[in-house]
Amino acid sequence: MVERTDEYIIGRLIERSRLLIALSEEIPVETKLQAQPLLKQLEQALAVPAGEQDEERVRAIYAALYAEVADYADIEALLSALKNFVPYL
């Protein structure tokens, strides 16, 4: 069994969120246009080594993204799962 790092799982959760947002027909285009750049910013902020991350910035991006997509259960679940791998969220 291959053990996955937290960074790998975080990347996959963000990738799945991005794909789900892009493909979902129930999400309005405006919401998609707001959420996709926030996902990219979150991905970039979390790509920095854990000890060097700007936790306040990560929390702010996460909160803005969560507010955009919280009404969509599948995406909300993926974002909530991030809390298991990013302890300060």
- Where residue 3 falls among pLDDT bands split at 50, 70, 90? confident
Alpha carbon distance 28, 22 (integer Å) = 10
pTM: 0.91
CB-based contact 35:70 (threshold 8 Å): no
pLDDT tens track for 80-89: 999 999 989 9
Show contacts of 26-29: CB within 8 Å, 24+ apart: 26/72, 27/69, 27/72, 27/75
Alpha carbon distance 41, 50 (integer Å) = 16
